[in-house]
Chains A and B, each alone.
Chain A
Amino acid sequence: MVSLQNLTFAWDANVPVLNIPAFQMEPGERVFLHGASGSGKSTFLGILGGVLRPTSGEVCVLGEPLGGMRAHKADRFRADHLGIIFQMFNLLPYLSILENVLLPCRFSTLRAAHARESRDLADEADRLLSALGLPRDITHRPVTALSVGQQQRVAAARALIGRPALIIADEPTSALDTDLRSDFVHLLLQECELNETGVLFVSHDKSLSPLFDRTVELESINHIVRREVS
């Protein structure tokens, strides 16, 4: 599903951030990625998301050589196969909840087709929102009127719509309080399990790791020689 070989990445030629000889994910596997702040987790996800280009090495996602793809192909690939959740501010404030959830279907006909398989788009969005625990009666509110926890549920529904093969989540729970976190992750993983969607989940919060199939320390796969700035 995901396989890396000799990946290196540097924002600035003198300061390597990533040097990962190998990393694999099985289809449908749910991986918890842990690492210190500034260790390069978000950068790593950017490469897997096809937004950043590796400096060298091979990146294959779903068997496609994402690292060497032309930019617009990588963008198309992301729209078709990846669902992405950020730490916060996931939503466009001027779109409705429904419009926010359906955004991937606007950029990818594949996602739209998947979402339409059993019901129409709006119903599928509704289904996801309630599966993720968003109360039904608030789906017509403007997104700016939602709590952070509710916003993250909308973001998760957006990532999940149209059955992408892989969900990439960059600390989506760090703005939530502890009770909500495991509840949110639980519902997210449940929904992923239904479609055998792979998950790469980044967090500082080790208490969430038991919910996943596997935990990876970024420091243990990343072999950069850190040059401390003194």
Chain B
Amino acid sequence: MSWSTLFHIAWKSIINRRVTTMLTVAAIAVSVTLFLGVEKIRSGAQAGFSSTVSGTDLIVGARSGAINLLLYAVFRIGDATNNVTWESYLDITSRNDVAWAIPISLGDSHRGFRVMGTTQAYFEHYRTGDKKLLGFSQGRQFGALFETVIGADVARELGYAVDQKIVIAHGIGAVSFAKHDNLPFTIVGVLERTGTPVDRTVHVTLAGIEAIHVGWEGGAAPRGKARIGADAVAELELQPTSITAFLLGLKTRIGVLTAQREINRYADEPMMAIIPGVALTQLWSVVGVADTALTAIAAFVILTGLFGLMTNILSSLHERRREMAILRSVGARASHIFILLVSEAIMLATAGSMVGILLVQAVIAVAAPQIVKATGVFIGSPGVTHFDLGTVLGVVFIAALLALVPAWGAYRHSLSDGLTVRM
């Protein structure tokens, strides 16, 4: 007999039980959606994560944990326990093998966004994942003392544009009461979107950071005479005494390990240097645990859906014993009965996972922009990936495997029932 007849019969039989069929397909679809969704978020997060910084050979900060240093220097999360003195910075950056250095000074904020003091070197050497330098969507680099360049998210969320003036708050809370409002900064540039923490950063000059802290040495806002204006500050010689961390580019990558070792042994001050790629991998292995757990849960949800499918077929067998005897009587082989049930499972699993893929696409189309906005994680644009297809194949394969159980039962029945229609 031809395969098409067998599939036709399986199909009609499925349609005949449409309510249970639809529920089974829905269960598989939802589980596949969950699984693929988790995977998309995972790969999006991982890709975004590892493309946060590139082209930097070493990140140097006060001695603490490697992950901590990475978090505050690159992700701008958390705080440094200690600073690096300006002398040490000058000393290390004068090494022969250093090609460039980007100093970073953190600690202030603007309406919930981190403020980072740095130099023009940042625009010349800082690269995100695809090895791209930072681009400007508006304006230019900062030059003068009270100029600032803001990230794409800062501009979008706060509705800022070039020429606006902003005030920087002391400390990093979203709502801060101690403001450097005597010394406003002028926005001179807005950066292009990078999908990295750069988007959420307000960049000012290192000297600017120093300037707004003149008179704050005690840790509290200066009053009366100590409170000075922009003109007065501009006349001061602003030399930072310390910075939070710095990024180093070396002349040759071969020297990275040597340089790292020597910085770690730096005598004047406890310092540590980390290799961004290594530290990123380390950090990901921490974050990745949660992620692996999620993937495992999603996989189990799929398995649950497939057990539902198997249950559906098994419980239908009882009422369908008749159907099998009829098919046998018109010449179906026992193996046809077997194939009938397996192909039924395959059809349901295929339908379920196809619907699942469509659902994921729909979710991505609708939710991806929101997710990027809320978390900065880019979960990809709609489009069926190899992973999606692999998942469909896997689901269908496991469904076929599980269907062997009811199929074998039906096969045995159809051999032993003879030609009687049993109830």
Q: Nearest Cβ in chain B — how far from A75, in angstroms?
A: 4
Determine the chain A residues whose CB is within 8 A of the CB of B297 once the complex forms.
none
Give the A-B pair count, Cβ closer than 8 A: 86
Flag B3-32 by CB within 8 Å of A: 1 or 0 each. 001000100110110000000000000000
Secondary structure class of chain B's binding surface, majority of residues: helix
Contact status B331-A72, CB under 8 Å:
no
Residues of A within 8 A of B325 (CB): 86
Interfacial chain B residues near A3, Cβ < 8 Å: none
A131 at the interface (CB under 8 A from B): no
Of A29-37, A99-107, A120-128, which binds chain B?
A99-107
Residue from A72, A88, A106 whose CB has the most chain B CB atoms within 10 Å = A106
| Distance between B72 CB and nearest chain A CB, rounded to angstroms | 66
- Whether, in the assembled complex, A189 has its beta carbon less than 8 Å from a beta carbon of chain B, the answer is no
Interface pair A51/B331, CB less than 8 Å apart: no
Known: A80-B331, A92-B323, A94-B13. A87 touches B5 (CB 8 A): no
Asked whether B12 lies within 8 Å of A79 as measured between CB atoms, the reply is no
Question: Pick the contact of A89 from B5, B15, B418, B421 — CB < 8 Å?
Answer: B421
A45 within 8 A of B: yes
Residue A188 at the chain B interface, CB threshold 8 Å: no
A90 at the interface (CB under 8 A from B): yes
CA separation between A32 and B420, bound complex, in Å? 18
A168 to B330 Cα, complex, angstroms: 12
- Size category of the binding interface on chain A: 20 to 34
The A141-192 residues at the B interface (CB cut-off 8 A) are: 158, 168, 170
* Identity of the chain A residue whose Cβ is nearest the Cβ of B331 in the assembled complex: A79
Which of B35-43, B237-245, B278-286, B332-340 forms contacts with chain A?
B332-340
Q: Which residue of B lies closest to A103 (CB)?
A: B330
Report chain B residues within 8 Å CB of A91: 326
Cα distance, A93 to B328, chains bound together (Å)? 16
- Pairwise interchain contact A107-B332, C-beta atoms closer than 8 A: yes
The answer to whether B419 and A94 have CB atoms under 8 Å apart is no
A103 to B326, CA, bound (A): 10
Query: B15 contacts A170, CB within 8 Å?
Result: no
- Give Cα A88–Cα B326 distance, bound, in whole angstroms: 11
Query: A46–B421 contact, CB under 8 A?
Result: no
B322 within 8 A of A: yes
- Taken residue by residue from 309 to 330, chain B's Cβ proximity to chain A (1 for < 8 Å, 0 otherwise) reads as 0000000000000110111111
CA A209 – CA B322 in complex, angstroms? 28
A49 to B331 Cα, complex, angstroms: 10
A172 to chain B, nearest CB (A): 11
Q: Which chain A residues border B418 with CB–CB below 8 Å?
A: 42-43, 45-46, 49, 51-52
The answer to the question of A61 belonging to the interface, with a C-beta cut-off of 8 Å to chain B, is no
Which residue of chain A lies nearest to B14 when distances are taken between CB atoms in the complex?
A94
Please report the C-alpha to C-alpha distance between residue A100 and residue B418 in the assembled complex, in whole angstroms.
20
> CB-CB < 8 A to A45: which residues of B?
418-419
A108/B326 in contact, CB under 8 A: no
Q: Is the CB of A107 within 8 A of B331?
A: yes
Contact at B331–A94, with CB atoms within 8 Å?
no
Report A57-88 CB contacts with B as 1/0, cut-off 8 Å. Answer: 00000000000000110011011100010111
The CA-CA distance from A108 to B333 in the complex, in Å, is 12
Once the chains bind, are B322 and A75 in contact (CB under 8 Å)?
no
In the bound complex, what is the Cα–Cα distance between A84 and B15 (angstroms)? 27
Q: What residues of chain B lie closer than 8 Å to A43, measured between beta carbons?
A: 418
A168 CB to nearest chain B CB (Å): 8
Does B96 sit at the interface, judged by CB under 8 A? no
- Asked whether, in the complex, the Cβ of A72 is within 8 Å of the Cβ of B333, the reply is yes
Report if B385 contacts A (CB, 8 A). Answer: no
Q: CB-CB < 8 A to B258: which residues of A?
A: none
Q: Does B252 contact A (CB under 8 A)?
A: no
Contact of A94 among B2, B15, B334 (CB under 8 A): B15
Contact of A46 among B1, B333, B334, B419 (CB under 8 A): B419
Q: Is the CB of A170 within 8 A of B420?
A: yes
Report Cα–Cα, A51/B329, bound state, in Å.
8
Q: CB distance A92 to B333 under 8 Å?
A: no
For residue A95, CB closer than 8 A to chain B, the reply is yes
Whether A71 lies near B334 (C-beta < 8 A) is yes
Q: Is the CB of B420 within 8 A of A75?
A: no
B322 CB contact (under 8 Å) in A42, A84, A89, A170:
A89
Contact assessment for B419 and A170 in the assembled complex, using a CB-CB cutoff below 8 Å: yes
Report the bound CA distance from A45 to B315 in whole Å: 29
12 additional contacts (CB under 8 A) given A71-B333, A86-B329, A107-B331: A45-B419, A49-B329, A71-B334, A75-B331, A79-B1, A86-B325, A86-B326, A89-B326, A90-B326, A92-B327, A93-B16, A108-B1
25 CB < 8 A contacts A-B: A42-B420, A45-B418, A49-B329, A49-B418, A49-B419, A51-B328, A75-B331, A76-B331, A78-B331, A79-B1, A79-B331, A86-B325, A86-B419, A86-B420, A86-B421, A89-B322, A90-B421, A91-B326, A92-B12, A103-B326, A103-B330, A106-B5, A107-B5, A107-B330, A170-B419
Task: Please give the residue numbers on chain B whose beta carbons come within 8 Å of chain A beta carbons, in ascending order.
Answer: 1-2, 5, 9, 12-13, 15-16, 322-323, 325-335, 415, 418-421
